[in-house]
Amino acid sequence: MMYDVNRVREDFPILAREIYGRPLVYLDNGATTQKPRQVVEAMVDEYYNVNANVHRGVHFLSQQATDLHEASRETVRRFINAQSTSEILFTRGTTESINLLAFSFGEAMVKEGDEVVVSAMEHHSNIVPWQMMCERKGAQLRVIPMTDEGELQLEALDGLLNEKTRIVCCTQVSNVLGTVNPVKEVVRLAHEKAIPVLIDGAQSVPHMKVDVQELDCDFFAFSGHKVYGPTGVGVLYGKEVWLGKLPPYQGGGEMIKNVSFEKTTYNELPYKFEAGTPDYVATHALATALDYVSGLGMENIEAHEQELTRYALERMQQIEGMHIFGGARNRDAVISFQVGDIHHLDMGTLLDRLGIAVRTGHHCAEPLMRRLGIEGTVRASFGLYNTKAEVDALVEGIERIRRMF
């Protein structure tokens, strides 16, 4: 059963705003999503009524804050169906999750001459941390190529995997092309050679049901702010067998068992990877956001956004001079485009004047831009609250700008 999108929009106060005297049409959900009242209220309530540092206090408020924080870990576990809360590490976001993994995994598992495999359509945050680690260790980055349609070439992946490959890192959904990658198949191929896999779930978690056990991935990263939660919090999931073998990322409070000037022993999972005071207000708000989307039903959100994307593609393809990048068979709620020779920045700026928020540029995927032979695109990305009327506004806006040029 689908939800009532107009009712749901009332939960998001910002959607009632006007920009330059026009109703806001927010189509930049790939960059960040708007927050429902419930999420903001959870934060306000915690700051006003509960606030105390977690884990270290015997007093009432500290206990209560700790309970909320740890209950949030359980909510995340359930949301992605991890086996245990020891496998859920709180970070600042996808970027920090991948940096943590690249550092700790690199320290323990990578040596000179080894290889790390990423895909041609990764966000910089799933390229640069690996590149930095490779540089430190004298390892090599290898790339899974893609077709012109924006689909990964899995037959090439098989050829890339060898005894030197330490890890495969791949996004589940491309933030530029909207391609939904067959990550389960990537995992299967890698596991045939006992190679672990990290999945970047930044663009999948907000749009579809994710089950890390079903995917059988070894690591999975996502950001709170892209799934209607607050900024500054994210998750790294890791199978216990792997996390147990990796050294800590940062040192400090919370991640230790005992400290002396001679030697420090480390805390158990997940705390070993969580040095310092966590953003416990944000973790609670993230859990509130996950409960919110679960309440609507991830299947319903996916169905709503799929219908919206199909409708948008159909209407946009009729615009003269329209070029849509990527044509994967399995695609998500992201549409990158260019119209004639109108520069993406001009298109974005003029759409903004009509109250329509889209993203322009390279979308933190310069290697992908190079592969496509372009400098940038205009990107419209949908969220659970977008409507067909907003797609119509986008299409009419593009038409109007096209006629101006």
Min dist CB 79 to ligand PLP, Å, is: 17
Taking the least distance from each CB to ligand PLP, the nearer of 34 and 65 is: 34
For 329, the token pair is 């068979």
The closest of 117, 205, 347 to 335, measured between CA atoms, is: 347
Q: Does residue 171 belong to the site contacting ligand PLP (CB under 6 A)? A: yes
Q: Does residue 200 belong to the site contacting ligand PLP (CB under 6 A)? A: yes
Q: Which stretch binds ligand PLP (CB under 6 A): 40-48, 121-129, 139-147, 154-162?
A: 121-129
- Count Cα atoms within 13 angstroms, Cβ side, for 104: 22
Q: Which stretch binds ligand PLP (CB under 6 A): 200-208, 268-276, 348-356, 380-388?
A: 200-208
CA angle 250, 275, 96 (to 5 degrees): 60
Min dist CB 303 to ligand PLP, Å, is: 22
Min dist CB 194 to ligand PLP, Å, is: 26
User: Which residue of 203, 283, 336, 360 would you call a contact of ligand PLP, by CB under 6 A?
Assistant: 203
Min dist CB 372 to ligand PLP, Å, is: 16
The closest of 207, 213, 174 to 298, measured between CA atoms, is: 207
Q: Does residue 86 belong to the site contacting ligand PLP (CB under 6 A)? A: no
Give the containing element (helix H, strand E) for 359.
Answer: strand 359-361
Among positions 338-367, residues that touch ligand PLP (CB under 6 A) are 364
According to DSSP, the residues that pair with 26 across neighbouring strands are: 357
* Concatenated DSSP letters of 33-73: ----HHHHHHHHHHHHHT---SSS--SHHHHHHHHHHHHHH
Q: Is 378 left (phi over 0), alpha (psi -120 to 50) or beta?
A: beta
Q: Does residue 93 belong to the site contacting ligand PLP (CB under 6 A)? A: yes
Q: Does residue 223 belong to the site contacting ligand PLP (CB under 6 A)? A: yes
Taking the least distance from each CB to ligand PLP, the nearer of 168 and 354 is: 168
CB 233 within 8 A of CB 279: yes
- Give the residue numbers annotated as catalytic, written as ranges: 364
Min dist CB 94 to ligand PLP, Å, is: 4
According to DSSP, the residues that pair with 143 across neighbouring strands are: 118
Min dist CB 260 to ligand PLP, Å, is: 36
Q: Which stretch binds ligand PLP (CB under 6 A): 122-130, 183-191, 250-258, 303-311?
A: 122-130
Residue corresponding to tokens 């270290």? 56
Question: SS3 of 140, please?
Answer: strand
Q: Which stretch binds ligand PLP (CB under 6 A): 145-153, 196-204, 294-302, 310-318?
A: 196-204
Instruction: Tell me phi and psi for residue 53, to 5 degrees.
Output: -70, 145
Q: Does residue 33 belong to the site contacting ligand PLP (CB under 6 A)? A: no
- Cα→Cα distances 183→146, 216, 218, 220, 360, Å: 14, 10, 12, 11, 27
Q: Does residue 331 belong to the site contacting ligand PLP (CB under 6 A)? A: no
User: Which residue of 29, 175, 309, 381 would you call a contact of ligand PLP, by CB under 6 A?
Assistant: 175
Min dist CB 224 to ligand PLP, Å, is: 8
The site for ligand PLP, by CB under 6 A, has a size of: 13
Q: Which stretch binds ligand PLP (CB under 6 A): 93-101, 184-192, 240-248, 264-272?
A: 93-101
CA angle 266, 268, 273 (to 5 degrees): 70
Residues that bind ligand PLP (CB under 6 A): 93-95, 123, 125-126, 171, 175, 200, 202-203, 223, 364
